[in-house]
Amino acid sequence: MLNGIIVLNKPRGVTSSDCVYKLRKLLKIKKIGHAGTLDPEVNGVLPIAVGQATKLIEKMHEKDKKYIGVGLLGFATDSYDVTGKKIAEKKIITPFSDEEIQSGMKKLVGDISQMPPIYSAVKVNGKRLYEYARENIEVQRPMRDVTVKSYNLVNTSTYDYEKQQQTFDFSVTCSKGTYVRSLVNDLGAILDVPAVMVKLTRIASSGYNITDAVTLEDISRQIDQPHFWLQPIDSFFDNVEHFVLNSEQYDQVRNGAALKINASSNEVALVYSGKIKAIYEKKLNVYKPQLMLLQND
């Protein structure tokens, strides 16, 4: 049985669910799911858990996500990206300096409350926002608390003298639930000009980078060689303290027993026969099960 994480480089034009569906058929496996939806027009890192790794999905969400993208100052859409309907336009007579743009970005860094785009999968009364939008139904959008670790201008912004619009490249590091489209829209509000996200790529998620990523074509071509496209479960816990069990301790772990072990961290990966079999956490003076991975072979 396959156990591990596929770091997929999701192409533009397909949904995250489409990718999972294709892989379920390709790999002939039922236990599979992704950690962190990407919009159809966003490409980049989509971590997909397979087999025992599906137990990690909640933990995978806890790690930061990193993006690079392109924003445009001068018009806005209802979806906050270029797939939406134009709702505002304002010619930029005097271009913003890069310092002004970076200063605006800095105001959106930290723990912030963010309004999700109307075209998003956030649920209100059991119905997704994009469903309300398609039916032209007004709905109160809930504010979401997110953390933006960094939001920076990359390269020099570009002013189009003919269109009187300004584009800028940016990078973002943020927590789960953050809508980067909203960050671009909010930057426009700070600068008092309509703004829209033109392009977005996720370059890191769940501790994996774009350099680790493979395509659906890569997997299909090397279907019988999973070591080329499947990250082992243990790779997710590279930064967690490891403790090697003896056979007696492993018998205890298999029964879900607490352990007294010599470890310095509150969270410990327990290893037996070269594989992580459980994640234990410290409670008072003993370590107790947090996550069991006994079938991680």
Q: Give the residue numbers annotated as catalytic, written as ranges.
A: 39
Mind spelling out the 3-state secondary structure of the chain? CCCEEEEEEECCCCCHHHHHHHHHHHHCCCCEEECCCCCCCCEEEEEEEEHHHHHHHHHHHHCCEEEEEEEEECEEECCCECCCCEEEECCCCCCCCHHHHHHHHHCCCEEEEECCCCCCCCEECCEEHHHHHHCCCCCCCCCEEEEEEEEEEEEEEEEECCCCEEEEEEEEEECCCCCHHHHHHHHHHHHCCCEEEEEEEEEEECCEEHHHCECHHHHHHCCCCHHHCCECHHHHHCCCEEEECCHHHHHHHHCCCCECCCCCCCEEEEEECCEEEEEEEEECCEEEEEEECCCCC
**Distance, C-alpha 146 to centroid of its chain:** 13
**Short-list 232, 84, 95, CA closest to 164:** 95
Handedness of CA 237, 238, 242, 246 (dihedral sign): positive
